[in-house]
Amino acid sequence: MAYEQLTRGDLIRLLEQHDAERAEAGKDGIIMSYTGRTAPWQIIRQVKPKLTKINQRLSVGDSLAQGQNIIMDGENLSAMVTLYKYRGQVDLILTDPPYNTGEDFRYNDKWDKDPNDPDLGDLVPKEDGSRHSKWLRFMTPRIWMMRDMLKPGGVIAICIDHRELYRLGMLMDEVFREENRIGIINWQKAYSPKSDTGGKKGGLSTATEYVLVYAKDLEKAKTRLLERTEEMDARYQTSIDGDPNEWKSGDASGPNAATHQKMVYGIQSPFNGKMFYPPEGRCWANEKRSMKAWLEEWGHEYQEKWIDDGNEVVEKATGKTVKVKALVLKGTKFEEGVCVSSAAILGKARGAAQAKLAAGTWPQLYFGQSGETGPQLKRYLKDVKKGKVPLTYWANEDYDVPFDIGPQSWDHEESGHSQTGVTELDAVVGKGHNFKTVKPLKLISKIIQLWCKPDGIVLDPFAGSGTTGHAVLELNKVSGAERRFILIEQGNDEKGDHYAKSLTADRIRRVVKGDWKSGKCEPLGGGFQFIELKRQQVDAAAVNALQREEMIDLLLTSHWEKSDRAKTSLTRFLPEVESRRFLFATNSRNEGFFLIWDGADHPSNLNRDTFKAIVEEAKKHGLMDRYHVYASVATYSGRTVEFYKIPDRVLEHIGFNTRADAYNNETETDQV
Per-position DSSP letters for 480-499, written without gaps between them: ----EEEEEE--B-TT--BH
pLDDT of residue 41: 78
**CA-based nearest residue to 228, from 365, 113, 381, 457:** 381
Q: Output the CA angle 548-554-560, nearest 5 degrees.
A: 125
ω before 647 within 30° of 0 (cis)? yes
Q: How far is CA 3 from the centre of its chain?
A: 40
Cα-based distances in Å from 589 to 407, 454, 615: 45, 22, 16
Per the CB < 8 A criterion, the answer to whether 156 and 171 are in contact is no
DSSP conformation letters of 452-474? S-TT-EEEESS-TT-HHHHHHHH
Strands 70-73 and 529-537: parallel
pLDDT of residue 334: 92
Q: How far is CA 359 from the centre of its chain?
A: 47
Per the CB < 8 A criterion, the answer to whether 643 and 606 are in contact is yes
Q: Which residues contact 380 (CB under 8 A, 6 or more apart)?
A: 236, 245, 246, 247
End-to-end CA distance of the chain: 35
- At 112 the three-state DSSP class reads helix
Per the CB < 8 A criterion, the answer to whether 241 and 360 are in contact is yes
Q: Which residues contact 610 (CB under 8 A, 6 or more apart)?
A: 582, 596, 631, 636
Q: How far is CA 219 from the centre of its chain?
A: 23
Could you give the residue ranges of the DSSP H alpha helices within 491-533?
Answer: 499, 505-513
Block mean pLDDT (10 aa), the chain, length 672: 66 67 51 78 86 94 91 94 93 92 82 81 85 90 94 95 89 92 80 52 67 93 64 63 86 80 93 92 89 96 93 84 94 90 88 94 93 90 53 30 40 52 71 67 87 94 93 90 94 73 92 87 93 91 93 92 74 67 92 94 94 94 94 93 94 73 41 32
Per the CB < 8 A criterion, the answer to whether 211 and 185 are in contact is yes
Average pLDDT score, the chain: 82
For the domain 42-222+402-532, what is the CATH code? 3.40.50.150
- At 527 the three-state DSSP class reads coil
pLDDT 10s digits, 319-337: 889 999 999 999 999 988 8
Domain boundaries, the chain: 1-31, 42-222+402-532, 230-395, 539-653
pLDDT of residue 670: 37
| Residue 586: burial class (beta carbons within 10 Å; 0-12, 13-18, 19+) | buried
Looking at this protein, which amino acid is placed at residue 598? D
| Residue 283 parent element (H or E) | strand 283-284
**CA-based nearest residue to 466, from 414, 410, 428, 515:** 428
**CA-based nearest residue to 96, from 488, 503, 432:** 488
User: Measured between alpha carbons, how far is 62 from 230 in angstroms, rounded to an integer?
Assistant: 34
User: Measured between alpha carbons, how far is 543 from 106 in angstroms, rounded to an integer?
Assistant: 32
pLDDT of residue 424: 72
pLDDT 10s digits, 248-274: 888 898 877 877 888 999 999 999 999
Per the CB < 8 A criterion, the answer to whether 414 and 391 are in contact is yes
User: Measured between alpha carbons, how far is 388 from 411 in angstroms, rounded to an integer?
Assistant: 14
pLDDT of residue 394: 28
